[in-house]
Amino acid sequence: MNGLSVFKFLKPAPYVAEIQDPERIKKDYKYWRIRTFYAMYIGYALYYFTRKSFTFAMPALQTELSLSKFELGLLGSILSLSYGASKFVSGILGDKSNPRYFMSIGLILTGIFNLLFGASSMLWAFALFWGLNGWFQGWGWPGCAKLLTHWYSQSERGRWWSIWSTSHNLGGALIPILAAICVESFGWRAAMYIPGILCIVSGFFIMNRLRDTPQSLGLPSIEKFRNDYANSKTKSPSEQELSVKEILLEYVLKNKFIWILAFAQFFNGAIRTAINDWSMLYLIEVKHYSTLEAGFCVPWFEVGGFLGMLTAGWASDIIFKGRRNPINAIFSLAILLVLFSFRTIAINWPPFDAAILFFFGFFIFGPQMLIGLSAAELSHKKAAATATGFAGWFAYLGAAFAGGPLGALMKVGGWDSYLTTIFICSLLGALIVLPLWSIKTKEDAALKKEPS
The full set of domain ranges for the chain reads 13-226, 244-448
For 43, 95, 107, 153, 210, the CA distances from 110, given in Å and listed in that order, are: 12, 21, 5, 31, 19
Note the pLDDT of residue 443: 54
Mean pLDDT by 10-residue block, N- to C-terminus, for the chain (452 residues)? Answer: 54 88 93 95 92 73 75 75 83 82 94 94 90 92 86 84 83 75 84 93 95 92 82 52 69 84 90 80 81 75 87 87 86 89 83 91 88 80 76 82 76 84 89 81 52 42
Q: Which CATH superfamily is domain 244-448 in?
A: MFS general substrate transporter like domains (1.20.1250.20)
- 13-226 shares its CATH topology with 244-448: yes
Note the pLDDT of residue 2: 47
Q: Check: CB of residue 179 under 8 Å from CB of residue 53.
A: yes
Note the pLDDT of residue 447: 46
Note the pLDDT of residue 69: 62
Note the pLDDT of residue 253: 80
How many residues can be counted in the chain?
Answer: 452
Helix (H, G, I), strand (E, B) or coil at 54: helix
CATH (residue range 13-226): 1.20.1250.20
Note the pLDDT of residue 216: 92
**Model's pTM, two decimal places?**
0.72
Note the pLDDT of residue 360: 92
